[in-house]
Structure 1
Amino acid sequence: MKYSKKQAVIVKPNPNTIVYSYPSDVESLSIAHIKVNGRHPDKKNQYFIEKVCDVLIYIIKGSCKVTINDKVFELRPGDTITIGKNKKYSLEGKTEYLAATSPTYFSEQNLIIPG
């Protein structure tokens, strides 16, 4: 099935981030186009944990630092990184990226925890 950006659901989880979440007609995969200018999640002492989904990030523009379980990775356009479920992570920088998730992302499985 083909989807366009017009069909994406736009979410602004914090002042630094815009998420374009595309529909998916399969339960095993979803994708979002995300723009970050700062930190995501936005508070310094917070991290995400995906309880169900694995995430693959592909950097389109800009650069960022991704922290996974206290290990820092610097990413630039063309780089990818995978984040397995149940790993704490954050992203910081000015960047645009694609985030593919498997199975299909749903917000209830995404937790924000203190660092």
Structure 2
Amino acid sequence: MTENNSKAVRDFIPEVLKLSGKECIVRELSDSSFLPELEKKLEEELKEYFESKEIEELADLLEVIYRIAELRGSSKAELETIRQRKKQEKGGFEKNLLLLNLLEKSSYPGLRSAGSTESRRVVFKPEDAVVIEKKGVKMRIYTTKAESENAGVLYQETHKGHTEEFLHEKSDFIYYILEGDGVWIVEDREFEARAGDVVVVPAGKRFWFRGNLKQVCITAPAWEEQYECHIRDLEF
């Protein structure tokens, strides 16, 4: 009896094995079925890196991570944009910092709080925002989360609308339409809106929108990707 050692492999592995004189059985899975297998592959690649510390293993990790992002409705470019935004907000790891302990504020009353008005940004310029294009919408994301976790701000432009139905588990989405008009489809109900209107989509509601629009989107609390759920892609 053949032992079942099934695992996710790169696209050319069956051909590589065949050329080396080995036989194998492969099965092509749907995206939804392949995703958990690929996440197990991520654990496998991480373990191999810890054992070898080889740069090649890091490359394997990246390949798996990029594909997982795609299967979760994102892209390599979007993943890189999020990485850059988080680095801008919280920094990278270049300083080799190790957090030893968190101190109560009262322990050292002379220290200035990281949230004090002296250290907080007040004005955010367009040139400092992160610009991405996702699902038919060009977005300018203002990186305000470090200063205000209660809300996030995006400026959006689209000629046709948002080609994805999705929901966010934690954030309300509040749109103020600057120019144009469109239709918001919330839980399969249609709502028309135009310049000067405000559209409110509560957390947990499925929605998408179509139209030629320029608008500001406020997310409250500030948007976090981990709580966004892809429902389906749309074509129009």
> Whole-Å Cα distance in 1 between the matches of residues 226 and 137 of structure 2?
19
Q: Which residue, 184, 193, 208 being the options, matches 1:90?
A: 208
> Whole-Å Cα distance in 2 between the matches of residues 54 and 73 of structure 1?
17
Matches within 5 A, 1:1-115: 1-14=122-135, 16-24=136-144, 25-40=147-162, 42=163, 46-114=164-232
Q: Any gaps of 5 or more consecutive residues in structure 1?
A: none
Runs of 4+ in 1 over 2 A off after TM superposition: none
**What TM-score, normalized to structure 1?**
0.89
Question: How many residues are matched?
Answer: 110
Shift of 1:114: 3.0
Look up the equivalent residue of 2:178 and give its one-letter code: I
Query: What is the root-mean-square deviation of aligned Cα atoms in Å?
Result: 1.3
Shift of 1:76: 0.6
User: Looking at both structures, which has the greater relative contact order when contacts are Cα pairs under 8 Å and sequence separation is at least 6?
Assistant: 1
**What TM-score, normalized to structure 2?**
0.45
Q: Deviations over 1:69-99 (max 9, x none)?
A: 1111111100001111110000101101111
* More strand per residue: 1
Q: What percent identity do the matched residue pairs reach?
A: 19
> Whole-Å Cα distance in 1 between the matches of residues 215 and 228 of structure 2?
18
